Amino acid sequence: MASLVGRHAGFVAALREAGLPVSTAEGLDAVRALEFLDLMDRESVRAAYAATLVKRSAHRELFDTLFDLWFPAALGDGAGHVPGRPGRRLDGEGRPIPAALDPGVQARRRELADVLLDGDDAALRAFARDAVASYGRTPGQESWFSSGVLRALSPDTLMAGLLNAVLTGRDRGGLAERVARRTFRDRIARFERLVAGEVRRRIAEDTGVERTARLSVRPPLERLDFGRANRADLDRLRREVHPLARRLATRLAQRNRAGDRGRLDFRRTVRASLASGGVPLTTRHRPRRPHRPDLVILCDASDSVSAFAHFTLLLTFALREQFSRVRAFAFIDTTDEITKFFAPGADVAAAMTRMAREADLVWITGRSNYGHAIKVFEERYADAIGPRTSLLVLGDARSNYGELSLPVLEAMAGRARHAYWLNPEPRGLWDTGDSAASRYGAIVPMVECRNLDQLTSFVEELA
Amino acid sequence: MTAPAAFTSPDDVAARLAAAGYLADEPVATTVFLAQALGKPLLVEGPAGTGKTELAKAVAAATGAGLLRLQCYEGLDEARALYEFNYKKQLLAIQAAPSDRAWQETHDDIFSAEFLLERPLLAAIRRPDPTVLLIDEADKADVEVEGLLLEVLSDYQVTIPELGTIAAVRRPFVVITSNAARELSEALKRRCLYLHLDYPTAERERAIVLARVPGIEASLAEQLVRTVAALRDLELKKAPSIAETIDWARTLLALGLDELDETAVARTLGVVLKHVSDQERAAAELGLRG
């Protein structure tokens, strides 16, 4: 591992293991790129690797984490560390004094506030490195933790002081405060990320780079299971879902455009033929009227698929903005129309809370009951599905051993132009327990859809 | 490739782009430098209005190269991207040919370079002078166009059945931009260097505003870019672009406003937000008094 080539090979292997598709040719590009650069400039080495190896913006965060491990910014305590600065002070019994009573910690907090106020990234980085050296490991602990640093310095609580410092004399609660609050929130988050990165680097020094990499890397966003996504992931997913919805919309619209041309435009054809001496070399056609599909979405909003439900509602929302005629229905054990909550331009978070409060989704049990939900749909909203409709069902097909209403669904699918079912469960679990996946799948083609990759390929295959 | 105007280092790139009116940060400068050094096309992806097309123009201006632009759209085909034969001229040539001339002769004649209409890709390859080829919004084009690009960009040559293979006299500097509305094919991405151009940091955007809007106070520019950054955070339909930030700065100057308070923002919000729903959302989130 000592040689540069070894380090490069290890880094590329780690990227591949983390799920980035790095080809051999791209690895060679990276090496050739390094020849043109000053290797002492760490940021340009990072830029060279990023330009040659990372071809999706969603992979960038993962890349940066691994890059910081393989090409660490410092060794040991780093150059910026002042060795004389002690960590937490201990009381008589060898326990750390509470941070609020420790004058050393309070002085560091004031320093941090100044750095955050200033917004100088290099200073912030140096401060994070130093802070981890001081507080990242309490006496007696074997490993490094960012929690120790964040507990001691508690950067979140600095916000009020920071706002006071910038908003001198201006009224609170207004635009200026909101903008300033956002700026500081970003800087604090940046500080926390720097601390986490620094802690990873320290751990890697102690226990080896490969092992640390495996432990600290989450799968890339497009392979992340919807069911395991946390809040931040859902925010990122939301951004990815919008372009997919737009594509799904165009795909569904295009399916009908097989005959590419419309009727012959006689006048334009004759006019065009004048240029070629009256020989109609090119025929002109009237543009076809674009086909505007109707979309009916039927999504499971029960707790058993809550993370997926959150995602399906995001997808519903995104689709609602793309299609002119979408009707969305949610069900748990009964069905209600939720189209009105998802009006284009509405706020997605607000729409979800309103839906949870106002929509009538629970009939008796509050557990998903596909049979009843489908029946209710057919009774109340049968007119929603017509010959131009694409029907999209989103749910895990687990009906808690209730009835399934297969004939009703068959009638619905028969009336629609297309019908698809996206199931968030791994295919291996279909038909286990109360899952009716294959029985529903026999009526409506069912696709496993648990991450962005699968959703993307579903959208692609529609073409 | 090694024209007198070639870049010598990332710092050189940054300095010369700045002279051309484009403030590049270090990753951008390094990537542009590498694209030129390795002779690879540069794929620039990112949200609309972050200066992807501007980058290509600035590179052209900084290296004294000519800029050829291929704007992609749905339905773009080989005839519009690469070349086609000028059939009107061919028809005239057939009609004007003396009647005793053999058909084969005429046939050879009308499929010569004289009747070739070159489109941006072919033109970029045939140009002997330094060239920046901008393939704009590649995600808008159909997948088939990517296949065409692959062929042209891996060997910098084009085969025209009637004329043979035309190889590049001088490799153009290729910039492909994409808003990532569609994932481009892995094969294309493999052949390119990749640059993700996001909205600039507040510091960089302030520098851009100061450079592009002479006469603006530094403190107002600071307030402006922070406010724009807060707007971009709101997940709007259309987040404000750098160009719109600059427009906003000019508007404030024209109105003689020297502070960006709630009333000033409410009065001029239309300059940066072009959807009613976005404006309502911003007003609600930023606490504007209409």
The DSSP-derived string for A294-354 is: EEEEEEE-SGGGHHHHHHHHHHHHHHHHH-SEEEEEEESSSEEE-GGGG-TT--HHHHHHH
Distance CA B40, CA A58 (A): 23
Smallest Cα distance from A182 to chain B, Å = 7
What part of B 1-30 touches A (C-beta under 8 Å)? Answer: 10, 26-27, 30
Which one of A47, A275, A277 has the shortest CB-CB distance to B31?
A: A47
Least confident of A121-125, A252-256, B49-53, B236-240: A252-256
One-letter identity of residue B209: V
Distance CA B43, CA B193 (A): 6
Asked if B133 contacts B81 with a C-beta cutoff of 8 angstroms, the reply is: no
Smallest Cα distance from B259 to chain A, Å = 11
Contact of B178 with chain A, judged by CB distance below 8 Å, is answered with: no
Residue A255 has pLDDT above 60, yes or no: no
Smallest Cα distance from B86 to chain A, Å = 11
Residue B234's closest chain A neighbor by CA? A347
3-state DSSP assignment of residue A168: coil
Contacts of B181 in chain A (CB under 8 A): 243, 246-247
**CB-based contacts of B97, cutoff 8 Å, min separation 6:** B106, B109
Could you read off the pLDDT of B194-226 as tens digits, one per residue? 999 999 988 899 999 999 998 888 889 988 998
Q: Given pLDDT bands bounded at 50, 70 and 90, which one contains residue A348? A: low
Residue A453's closest chain B neighbor by CA? B183
Which one of A174, A238, A347 has the shortest CB-CB distance to B262?
A: A174
Residue A344's closest chain B neighbor by CA? B277
User: Hey, what are A5's tokens?
Assistant: 């080539």
Residue B3 has pLDDT above 50, yes or no: no
Could you read off the pLDDT of A442-457 as tens digits, one per residue? 999 998 888 888 888 8
Contacts of B33 in chain A (CB under 8 A): 36
- Give the strand pairing for A389-394 and B42-45: unpaired
Which one of B189, B235, B278 has the shortest CB-CB distance to A55?
A: B189
**CB-based contacts of B240, cutoff 8 Å, min separation 6:** B49, B228, B231, B232, B248, B272, B273
Tell which of B25, B26, B34 to mutate to test the A interface (max A CBs under 10 Å): B34
Distance CA B42, CA B51 (A): 14
Could you read off the pLDDT of B114-133 as tens digits, one per residue? 888 889 999 999 899 999 99
Q: Which region holds residue B218: left if phi is over 0, alpha if psi is between -120 and 50, else beta?
A: alpha
What part of B 135-174 touches A (C-beta under 8 Å)? Answer: none
Q: Given pLDDT bands bounded at 50, 70 and 90, which one contains residue A54? A: very high
Which one of A26, A43, A345 has the shortest CB-CB distance to B190?
A: A26
Asked if B255 contacts B247 with a C-beta cutoff of 8 angstroms, the reply is: no
Q: Give me the sign of the Cα torsion angle B238, B244, B245, B251.
A: negative
Q: Give me the sign of the Cα torsion angle A41, A46, A51, A53.
A: positive
Residue B99 has pLDDT above 90, yes or no: no
Smallest Cα distance from B212 to chain A, Å = 23
Contact of B176 with chain A, judged by CB distance below 8 Å, is answered with: no
Distance CA B177, CA B53 (A): 7
Q: Could you give the angle at which helices B202-212 and B218-232 cross, rounded to 10 degrees?
A: 130
Q: Nearest to residue B196, comparing CAs of B44, B67, B85?
A: B44
Reported ipTM: 0.88
Contacts of B286 in chain A (CB under 8 A): 175, 178-179
Contacts of B261 in chain A (CB under 8 A): 174-176
Contacts of B223 in chain A (CB under 8 A): 176, 179
Distance CA A102, CA B213 (A): 49
Q: Pick the residue with more confidence: A240 or A110?
A: A110
Contacts of A171 in chain B (CB under 8 A): none
Inter-chain contact A33–B37, Cβ cutoff 8 Å? yes
**Looking at residues B213-240, what average pLDDT do you find?**
88
Inter-chain contact B194–A50, Cβ cutoff 8 Å? yes
Q: Pick the residue with more confidence: B116 or A168?
A: B116
What part of B 89-108 touches A (C-beta under 8 Å)? Answer: 91, 95
Residue B92's closest chain A neighbor by CA? A276
Distance CA B115, CA A102 (A): 85
Q: Looking at the whole model, is its pTM more than 0.95? A: no
**Looking at residues A75-102, what average pLDDT do you find?**
65
What is the CATH T-level fold of the domain A231-254+290-462, as seen in this structure? Rossmann fold (3.40.50)
Q: What is the pLDDT of residue B18?
A: 93
Which one of A44, A51, A175 has the shortest CB-CB distance to B261?
A: A175
User: Hey, what are A434's tokens?
Assistant: 């109360």
3-state DSSP assignment of residue A393: strand
3-state DSSP assignment of residue A239: helix
Q: Pick the residue with more confidence: A260 or A209?
A: A209
Least confident of A292-296, B48-52, B79-83, B244-248: A292-296
Inter-chain contact B38–A36, Cβ cutoff 8 Å? yes
Residue B266's closest chain A neighbor by CA? A175
Q: What is the pLDDT of residue B267?
A: 86
Chains A, B: CB pairs < 8 Å: 122
The DSSP-derived string for chain B is: ---TT---SHHHHHHHHHHTT----HHHHHHHHHHHHHT--EEEE-STTSSHHHHHHHHHHHHT-EEEEEE--TT--HHHHTEEE-HHHHHHHHHHS-TTS-HHHHHHHHTSGGGEEE-HHHHHHH--S-EEEEEETGGGS-HHHHHHHHHHHHHSEEEETTTEEEE-SS--EEEEEE--SSPPPHHHHHHSEEEE--PPPHHHHHHHHHHHSTT--HHHHHHHHHHHHHHHTT--SSPPPHHHHHHHHHHHHHTT--S--HHHHHHHGGGT--SHHHHHHHHHHHT---
Q: What is the pLDDT of residue B86?
A: 86
What part of B 195-214 touches A (C-beta under 8 Å)? Answer: 195-196, 198, 202-203
Inter-chain contact A43–B286, Cβ cutoff 8 Å? no
Inter-chain contact A345–B277, Cβ cutoff 8 Å? yes
The DSSP-derived string for A187-220 is: HHHHHHHHHHHHHHHHHHHHH-HHHHHHHH-PPP
Inter-chain contact A51–B182, Cβ cutoff 8 Å? no
Q: Pick the residue with more confidence: A290 or A434?
A: A434
Domain extents for chain B? 10-82+119-196, 83-117, 202-284
Inter-chain contact A57–B45, Cβ cutoff 8 Å? yes
Contact of B34 with chain A, judged by CB distance below 8 Å, is answered with: yes
Least confident of A231-240, A304-313, A320-329, B281-290: A304-313
What part of B 233-272 touches A (C-beta under 8 Å)? Answer: 233, 235, 237, 260-262, 265
Mean pLDDT of chain A: 80
Place of tokens 């020849």: A35
Q: What is the pLDDT of residue B136?
A: 93
**Looking at residues A350-354, what average pLDDT do you find?**
72
Domain B10-82+119-196, architecture per CATH: 3-Layer(aba) Sandwich (3.40)
Contacts of A243 in chain B (CB under 8 A): 180-182
The DSSP-derived string for B84-98 is: EE-HHHHHHHHHHS-
Inter-chain contact B230–A178, Cβ cutoff 8 Å? yes
User: Hey, what are A51's tokens?
Assistant: 């330009």
Q: Which residues of B209-235 are buried (b: 16+ CB within 10 A; e: fewer)?
A: bbebbeebeeebbbbbbbbbbbbbeee
